[in-house]
Structure 1
Amino acid sequence: MMLSIAAVCLSAAVFIAAALLFSPASTLLIFCWNCFLKPIGKTGNQQTSLERFYKSQASIYDSTRKTLLKGRELMLRLAKSHLRFTSDMVWVDLGGGTGYNIEKMNEYIPLSQFKAIYLVDLSPSLCEVARKRFEAIGATNVFVHCRDVNEFELPDNQKAHLVTMSYSLSMIPNYHSTVDRAAALLHDDGLAGVVDFYVQSESSYTAKTNTLGGELHRHVNWLSRNFWRLWFEFDHVHLDPARRDYLEYRMGTIKSLNCRNKILGHIPYYVWVGCDKRNASDINYRHQLATESPFLAPRLPAASGSCENLLDLPVKSKGHDAAHVAMLQNMPYPSFYYQREIWRIYYDSQAAHHHQFNNQYIYAFTWEDPIEDHNILKFNSDDVVLAITSAGDNLLAYAALDKPPRRIHGVDMNPHQNHLVELKLAALRALSYDDIWMMFGEGKHPKFHELLVNKLAVHMSSPAFQYWFQVGEDTFSGAGLYDTGSTRWALRLVRWIFKICNIKAQVDALCDAKSIEEQKQIWNKQIRPVLLSPITRLAVCNSVFLWKALGVPMNQADCIETSLFQYIVDTLDPLIDTYRIGTENYFYYLCLNGRYSPKTCPSYITKRGYFNLSRRRSGLDGIRLHTDSINDVVERLTPGTVTIAIVMDHMDWFSPAGKEVDEEISQLHKALANGGRVMLRSSSTKPWYLKNFQIHGFAIEPAAVRKPGMAIDRVNMYASTWVCTKPGMQDLVI
């Protein structure tokens, strides 16, 4: 505890030191006197109190707040990216002070694009600075009102398309009225943006996180909560959690970020963008969100635009249930209902099974071969596909086909796998091909953070945006995207071996080989003896490495019919004899190089795939992402609506002694249309659970079974691929 107190005291010292460091002597003396020494006292009048605090420092306010008031520019950029631009836009900045925000917004949106901008603040001194600022820049459409924000009304019954509050909500005593006023000023399609300090503990928000847009880093520890609350109260700035709570109760959350000012002792602050919580201007959109989980091919809403009676539907999604509860309690809808895109289906972020993944995805790329999927299944535009998400490469490969399935549902228990796919979807929607290639071909982008805020955020759910805002800059720099996820340890091991044994040049030669014969010679003479050495065998042939680095649980390892080392040999040797790594096999090119090549890469980052996905909206619009178990999703499906289910190697993970396989097969049988197919891969040449499919009435057929010396696809990591078909009507008649 003493160390923690010392750390907080040090933070306070840093706070003051920063002001001393970045300001002239006279400025910092004024700043320190007003902020740390001058008693404000009680006046009973908010305006008088504000003037005592600001009058002598109004002229230096902006120069002394750049380090302290973090997130203002971020809030403005998010607001700009989410605004629906019209020719008569009105902006109201409540507690706008010196007008810094308005002048700064001019860098993102020319102020001339607004019909009118209103700055409202109670401090005459700060308002005077604002007036001079706008006179200097010639902003004739900006109007400064020195009055209580709770009494401000727009002229001629106008409504604001944008309402912002920048570090003002924490300074207003009757904050309930302020939030109500902001909501009353807002246009039906309007946007609200807030940035402010906050303190909050996990126990105060866990019951309502589904309306908050995610909880990543929202918790503030006990010492920090109490220190910063007391520190700011000396200046009549109140950080009680109720202020943010009421904001998020009164409006719907579009984006929410929980941040720390690392320069000044990790002061907690949040950036929030929201809207009217009862905005019903897009009821058809909400109908889709409420029904997409249980109904893979939902009935269309009535032509009048009103919803059918969702309460009478025989099967309801979790999203529908959550929205219904919110309506009954007068709460906002779950944040997913306020997003621009409808890719991400509602999920309960507080469910225990989502917290087992240590805030990371397992796979940064997908191991299964989508070309073979198409060769086996022959996707067409009438198909409804249910598949495990993984890193989403295969979902995007199906969507990039010239005639993609009409609906592709990705299912994954790990929220972060779906965060990764959301990022890819948003990028395909918003970015140029060059940016796509840098992010997902090279795995690096020097301007990732800028792209995320300015272009990608509007196409992402709040939880996914939270995640990438926190980890994205590190992910897309350094070693890059493909050195992330749990499986990075396997790829690092390979690179370490190459480095220690000094064979990187030989690896490059393997990837540049002009023929299979040249490739085989390099492999057999120079790389295979190193990569498949006894030392490697010792490193990889243990249960810890299998699970932590390769994502292979013990049940799946038990399915292997040879020794694990022989299984690896039987995987790699035939590949070298069949596919040129540098031009035909992007899976192993990536493993060897940490990036893709334009000559060999997933179809969604080829120019043709990018064109199909970014220019023809049907491919991307058909994707839905479910963050749940297969059983939980399938349980809520309308029977007979799925034509293809792709479960990858998922069933290898089950125990033969358990009931999970039968439960899942039963649910799949119910969800599949007559003639519908389940495709699965296994580390066994004849998986033990095939008999379970037969018991449930499926016809079993091998699509590929691995034999010694033969590769069944470009990955060749599985011993077999199977198709299990539910009998069609003609089969039932016979």
Structure 2
Amino acid sequence: MISYLGSIVKLLTTEKNWLLYTTSNEDSQSELTALNISSTDDVLSITGSGCRSLALLANEPKSLTSVDAVPEQNYLLELKLSAFEALTYEEVLQFLGIHNSDKRLQMYEKLKPLLSDDAAIFWDKHKEKIKQGVIFTGRQERFYRNVVLPIIKFTRGNIISKLLKSRSIEEQRILYKKLNTWLWRRSIQTLCRRSIYKFILNDPSYYAYSEVNSLADYLISRLDYTFTHHPIKENHWLTFLLSGNYIHTSSLPVYLYPCHYEKIRRSRHKVKIVTAPLEKYLQEVPDNSFDKFSLSDISGWMSEHSFEAILSEIIRVSRNRGIFCYRNFLSKRTIPENLTSHVQRLDEVIKFLNENDRSFAFTFEVGMIKK
């Protein structure tokens, strides 16, 4: 109990200024499907943990511009990109923290010359995080690993272990019936108090612009669907939540699939990293500059006015038949009606993503821009 409370105190105090995200809570295959990126496309992406931007390189676009208002999140993307350039595939997994290694600092010295000066200064100050394996050091990741996971293991650890070894959806559905008890749902309700996410994580997507009455009820309904439709061993986010790691090769984030390593490595030089608020950056971009836009869950981070302003700018800077994709979490925003004369909502794509996205908490909007 002392250790458990200590984890919470550390997140509230010494960790409060650290990176919010260091791994992905999204299924980047959804963006790859929605955007259908080709070698002639100029792509714009929100950085976040860097995982989605990296995944988009798997289709080897002409260029990729990754934007974030938080410089440290961009430093993380730089670190991951440099790891792909300087390290073998197995070394990337070791360096990030998925596989064990006592040589991460030596690996860092190998890739450090590839970093910008600012990124190198930042990571030199945080070598302890690199030594730990940076992919699981974010405030969100530490919260789930050190606060949520112990509760899950305490309440339903035996069933969870069997679920992670399920060999079929049918077997998984049977086990989920055993998992989905009053105690399971009560545990989720306890962990889904918005005050937790506001004061421990300070992640506004959980509370600032929510249109969902009950976070717990919403997540339970989404978990019900995921456990009964998607193999857990192919679900990197749920595998991480239930075990604290990626325990199968098939449950790695999309950018870490073995088949994508060489393509991302070849495409590193195509990446431009921009530190600026998205709306401000877009205002400086010329008309007709991009073909595809991966916007993560921006709807949950800003007012409706700012959200609409960003979509308006995206229409301006997009080429004809450009495609944008964004995720909705607790803020459920469709494409604004006053923009529909310029945007064709791709209903079939949206339906497919909503049914097949493995991150379970999101729904989608996908639009094609008409000029």
TM-score range, shorter chain: 0.7 to 0.9
Inter-partner Cα distance in structure 1 for 2:167 and 2:31: 28
1:388 to 43, 46, 49: 46
**Does structure 1 residue 572 correspond to structure 2 residue 226?**
no
Gaps of at least 5 residues in structure 1 are: 1-356, 729-734
Q: Are 2:61 and 1:405 equivalent residues in the alignment? A: yes
Q: Secondary structure at the match of 1:678?
A: strand
Distance 1:438 1:406 in 2: 29
Structure 1, residues 186-233: CA drift from partner, whole Å, max 9, x if none?
xxxxxxxxxxxxxxxxxxxxxxxxxxxxxxxxxxxxxxxxxxxxxxxx
2:114 maps to which of 447, 459, 478: 459
Contact 1:448 / 1:472 at 8 angstroms: preserved in 2?
Answer: no
Give the C-alpha shift of residue 685 in structure 1. 8.9
Larger proportion of helix: 2
Say if 1:444 and 1:481, in contact at 8 Å, map to a contact too: no
Partner amino acid for 1:372? S
Contact 1:385–1:405 under 8 Å retained in 2: yes
Distance 1:547 1:628, change over 3 A: farther
Q: Which has the higher contact order (CA 8 A, sep 6+)?
A: 2
Matched with 1:655 is 303
Q: Match for 2:288: what amino acid?
A: G
What is the aligned-residue RMSD (CA, Å)?
A: 2.7
| Cα contact 1:422–1:460 (8 A) shared by 2 | yes
Q: Letter of the aligned partner of 1:594 in structure 2?
A: G
Partner of 2:343: 698
**Aligned partners of 2:152 and 2:291: how far apart in 1?**
45
Q: TM-score, normalised by structure 1?
A: 0.45
| 2:22 aligned residue | 364
8 Å contact 2:105–2:130 — kept in the other structure? no
Task: Read off the aligned partner of 1:378 and give its amino acid letter.
Answer: N
Partner of 1:673: 319
Quote the Cα distance in structure 1 between the aligned partners of 2:240 and 2:275: 27
- Give yes or no for the alignment of 1:683 onto 2:329: yes
Match of 2:279 in 1: 631
Distance of aligned partners of 1:468 and 1:685 in 2 relative to their CA distance in 1, 3 Å threshold: closer
What residue is the counterpart of 2:6 in the other structure? none
CA pair 369-603 structure 1, distance change in 2 beyond 3 A: closer
The Cα offsets for residues 644-669 of structure 1, whole Å up to 9 and x where unpaired, read as: 1121220233334xx42343223212
Shift of 1:684: 6.3
Change in CA separation of 1:652 and 1:599 when aligned onto 2, cut-off 3 Å: closer
C-alpha distance 681-456 of structure 1, shift in aligned 2 (>3 A): same
How far the C-alpha of 1:636 sits from its partner, in A, is 1.6
Give 1:475 shift. 4.5
Aligned partner of 1:592 in structure 2 is 242
Give the match's secondary structure for 2:366. Answer: strand
1:713 matched to 2:353? The reply is: no
- Higher-Rg structure is 1
1:397 is paired with a residue whose SS is helix
Structure 1 CA distance for aligned equivalents of residues 332 and 352 of structure 2: 10
Amino acid at match of 2:323: R
Name the residue aligned to 2:157: 504
Taking a change above 3 Å as real, the CA distance of residues 580 and 506 of structure 1, as seen in their structure-2 partners, is: same
Distance 1:645 1:400 in 2: 15
State yes or no: 1:621 paired with 2:286.
Answer: no
Q: Secondary structure at the match of 1:587?
A: helix
Alignment partner of 1:424 is 2:80? yes
The alpha-carbon distance between structure 1 residues 379 and 480, as it changes in their structure 2 partners (threshold 3 A), is: closer
Distance 1:544 1:716 in 2: 20
What corresponds to 2:143 in structure 1? 489
Corresponding residue SS for 2:144: helix
Question: Counterpart amino acid of 1:537?
Answer: Q
Query: Which amino acid in 2 is paired with 1:482?
Result: F
Call closer, same or farther: CA 1:443–1:470 in 2, change over 3 Å. farther
Of 61, 79, 103 in structure 2, the residue corresponding to residue 447 of structure 1 is 103
Alignment of 1:604-619 (within 5 A): 604-614=255-265, 617=266, 619=267
> Could you tell me how far apart the structure 2 residues matched to 1:683 and 1:603 are?
20
Alignment correspondent of 1:646: 294
Partner letter of residue 723 of structure 1? V
Q: How many Å separate the matches in 2 of 1:368 and 1:481? A: 14
Against the structure 1 CA distance between its residues 666 and 474, is the aligned structure 2 distance closer, same or farther, given a 3 Å change threshold?
A: closer
Amino acid at match of 1:509: K
Q: 2:175 aligned with 1:522, yes or no?
A: yes
Tell me the distance in 2 between the aligned counterparts of 1:727 and 1:517: 44
Query: Structure 1 CA distance, aligned partners of 2:127 and 2:241?
Result: 21
In 1, the alpha carbon distance for the partners of 2:202 and 2:227 equals 21
Please tell me the residue identity of whatever aligns with 1:669. Answer: I
> Structure 2 vs 1, CA of residues 433 and 726 (structure 1 numbering), >3 Å: closer, same or farther?
closer
Aligned ranges 1:472-483 → 2 under 5 Å: 472-477=127-132, 481-483=135-137
Q: Spell out, residue by residue over 1:41-65, the C-alpha distance to the aligned partner (whole angstroms, 9 max, x if none).
A: xxxxxxxxxxxxxxxxxxxxxxxxx
The whole-number CA distance in structure 2 between the counterparts of 1:374 and 1:706 is 13
Q: 1:388 to 1:443 in 2, by over 3 A?
A: farther
Structure 1 equivalent of residue 214 of structure 2? 563
TM normalised by structure 2 equals 0.86
CA–CA distance in 2 between the matches of 1:621 and 1:442?
A: 25
SS at match of 1:643: strand
Gaps of 5+ in 2: 1-14
Whether the 8 Å contact between 1:690 and 1:700 is mirrored in structure 2 is no
Q: Of 435, 438, 456, which aligns to 2:91?
A: 435
Question: 1:726 deviation in Å?
Answer: 2.1
Q: Return the alpha-carbon distance in structure 1 between the equivalents of residues 44 and 279 of structure 2.
A: 12
Q: Tell me, in whole angstroms, the C-alpha distance in 1 between the residues paired with 2:67 and 2:261.
A: 23
Asked if 1 retains the 8 angstrom alpha-carbon contact of 2:159 and 2:178, the reply is: no
Relative to 1, partners in 2 of residues 1:632 and 1:441: Cα closer, same or farther, differing over 3 Å?
same
- The 5 A counterparts of 1:35-114 are none
Question: 1:272-283 alignment to 2 at 5 Å?
Answer: none
Task: Determine the structure 2 residue equivalent to 1:470.
Answer: 125
Deviation at 1:643, TM superposition (A): 0.7
Distance (whole Å) between structure 2 residues aligned to residue 483 and residue 443 of structure 1: 14
Partner of 1:727: 370
The match for 1:169 is none
CA contact (8 A) 2:97 2:136 kept: no
* Percentage of matched positions with identical amino acids: 22
SS in structure 2 at match of 1:715: coil
Distance 1:486 1:571 in 2: 20
User: Does the CA-based 8 Å contact 1:634-1:667 persist in structure 2?
Assistant: yes
What SS does the aligned partner of 1:676 have?
A: strand
How far the C-alpha of 1:629 sits from its partner, in A, is 0.9
Q: Residues 240-296 of structure 1, C-alpha deviation per residue, up to 9 Å, x if partnerless? A: xxxxxxxxxxxxxxxxxxxxxxxxxxxxxxxxxxxxxxxxxxxxxxxxxxxxxxxxx
Equivalent AA in structure 1 for residue 259 of structure 2: R
The 2-side partners of 1:474 and 1:568 are apart by 31
